[in-house]
Amino acid sequence: MTIPQNPLLNDRDVEFLLYEVLDAPRLCELPYFADHTRETFDLYLQSCRRFAREVLFPTYRPVDASPPRFEGGAVAVHPALKQVFRPMIELGVLTAARPADVGGQQLPLVVAMLAGAYLMAANLSACGYLGLTTAAAHLIQTFGDETLKSTFMTRLYAGEWTGTMALTEPQAGSSLADVQARAERTKAGHYLVRGSKIFISGGDHDLAENIVHLVLARIDGAPPGIKGVSLFAVPKRRPEGGRLVPNDVEVAGVIHKIGWRGLPSLAMSFGERGDCHGYLVGNPHQGIAYMFQMMNEARIMVGVNAAATASAAYHEALGYALARPQGRPLGSKDPRAPQVPIVEHADVRRMLLRQKAIVEGSLALVSTTARYADLAAHAADPVERERAQRLLDLLTPITKTFPAEKGFESNALALQVHGGYGYSSEYLPEAWLRDQKLNSIHEGTTGIQGLDLLGRKVVAGGGAALMALGGEVEQTIGRARRAGVEPAWCERLGASMSLLGELTMHLAEAGLRGDVERMLRHSADYLELASILVVAWQWLAMAAAAREGLARGASPAGFYEGKLCAAQYWFSTELPRAQALAALCRSGEDSYARMRPEWF
């Protein structure tokens, strides 16, 4: 049995999204992207997919099998990561979407993100170092002064140093209002930082000569709660006298993870000897507001990682199902007849189609979100920028959550397709399943995303973002009708969006009455409902583009027919769940609200 080589992502899917669904070259009409064309997009995509398949993917299994080692107070990573780290930087990954004036290629984020998805599918741990680094550099670029930019940002973008987010503390978890790390201002202008952090991804390694931690801490005398948290750049080694000297930043322990095993997760200690220099980023007490730029970028990146991880597993399962002979058709009565590939069995096709619907729906979702990020930052019309920002804010918790939660289900199906081989470490699906589980926890759990969506995003500005989303959906419905997409799909999506709007008003009224608990009781169910609808919107857009492709005689026709089958699946099996979820949210069903801890 020869299993086809895993493509990680389907190149035709990526081209379809960029050029038939989203019309990415239209972004080149904006002054910021004027130097680009489809040709420059394709050159970068081709470079990334080639590197991902030929260089990066072969490192995945050995890196997963041998996590970083904590020796002599420092972390050492797998040698394979050292071999690919510098070539990834030379590929332009760190600055693909960054401005030319900081050495970037100034590509649209939607292009850079899909190119990066190939790399994430190949080895997400290797990509993690670079994703954190470019996000840290971008934060300093946005909020730091010129000294911070020249000292830290330039070296981060060059890949000479790497970056981290150092937010979480053992006693606080995701509750950043309870951060206890302290910062004392000195006469020299810097701060002395002291405190402990935990779950710091990439907090120490031997890939680069220095690491810049972006640390949340309280300046002595700061007010309690979120309003008293400031942001500091704290290097592992600080520049002093023309050289780098230790900065009293130590590894306190290594977290042994089930997935993302090539990217160390660490407990960190700052200032145990009273000599940890931190440099204030922006203004005092604005740390949470600043850090949310990096956090929101990271949340979208988690969604891309989740989509890419599900994609790699799906294509592995598809290749296996096409090659693995087992059994005979249901109607066959001749035991001497040759066995057929398992893809011929209906239940295997069911599992594969569900994976396809989740994976390609997720890729469409992250691409659409990235396109709104491009417009929010660079659209010529301020009104269009504001509208795109609202849509970006609204879609971020969905983009983070849906690919992670449904991607885990998709990964489980990929393992199931492999049967007994699926749960063996000799085959890759079990490793991707482990990786995927972390994505629903990274950068705010699913529960936090539900609270954010319902408690903030959909009600902000009097529901302006939800109304903007309704407008986008109506435009897609119009395109689908003109293309000849099944009218019932258009009607169901329109009705479901109305249902979501009515439900949101109902829940918001409870909040206005002061019953916030009632409003948010089913926020996780509300998030799932919104996710199903948003992905249905994506599948309607893809169905419209598929019908347009068939109408103009584009080939292969089977590619477009596959899109229509997956869209049919989503509208037939997932969208009907909207009614039940909406009813649950509206009912206020209180079983777990009234459940007491001692009753468990």
Active site residue 589: no
Residue 223 CB: number of other CB atoms within 10 A?
A: 10
Q: What is the dihedral of CA 442, 444, 449, 452, to 10 degrees?
A: -150
- How far is 494 from 489, CA to CA, in rounded Å? 9
**CA–CA distances in Å: residue 103 to residues 33, 152, 158, 168:** 15, 14, 8, 31
Q: How many CA atoms lie within 13 A of 447 on its CB side?
A: 3
Q: How many CA atoms lie within 13 A of 104 on its CB side?
A: 24
Do the beta carbons of residue 237 and residue 210 sit within 8 Å? yes
Do the beta carbons of residue 423 and residue 397 sit within 8 Å? no
* DSSP E strands, 64-204: 69-71, 74-76, 161-166, 182-185, 191-201
Q: 587-596: which pairs have CB atoms within 8 A and are 24 or more residues apart? A: 588/518, 588/521, 588/522, 589/522, 590/521, 593/517, 593/521
Listed in sequence order, the residues at least 6 apart from 547 whose beta carbon sits closer than 8 Å to its beta carbon are: 480, 483, 484, 485, 560, 564
- How far is 18 from 563, CA to CA, in rounded Å? 15
Residue in 122, 113, 114, 62 with CA at minimum distance from that of residue 87: 122
**CA–CA distances in Å: residue 398 to residues 103, 413, 446:** 32, 22, 9
Peptide bond into 4 cis (omega under 30): no
Angle, CA of 436, 439 and 443, to the nearest 5°: 170
28's tokens: 């080149």
- How far is 398 from 387, CA to CA, in rounded Å? 18
Query: Phi/psi of residue 184, each to 5°?
Result: -110, 125
User: What is the distance in angstroms between the CA of the first residue and the CA of the last residue of the chain?
Assistant: 50
Active-site hit among 443, 528, 548, 574: 443
Query: Phi/psi of residue 275, each to 5°?
Result: -135, 35
Residue in 455, 465, 454, 366 with CA at minimum distance from that of residue 406: 366
Q: 247-252: which pairs have CB atoms within 8 A and are 24 or more residues apart? A: 247/275, 247/276, 247/277, 248/272, 248/273, 248/274, 248/275, 248/276, 248/277, 249/213, 249/276, 250/73, 251/70, 251/73, 251/74, 251/75, 251/203, 251/204, 252/196
Residue in 366, 373, 544, 520 with CA at minimum distance from that of residue 451: 520
Annotated catalytic sites, by residue? 443
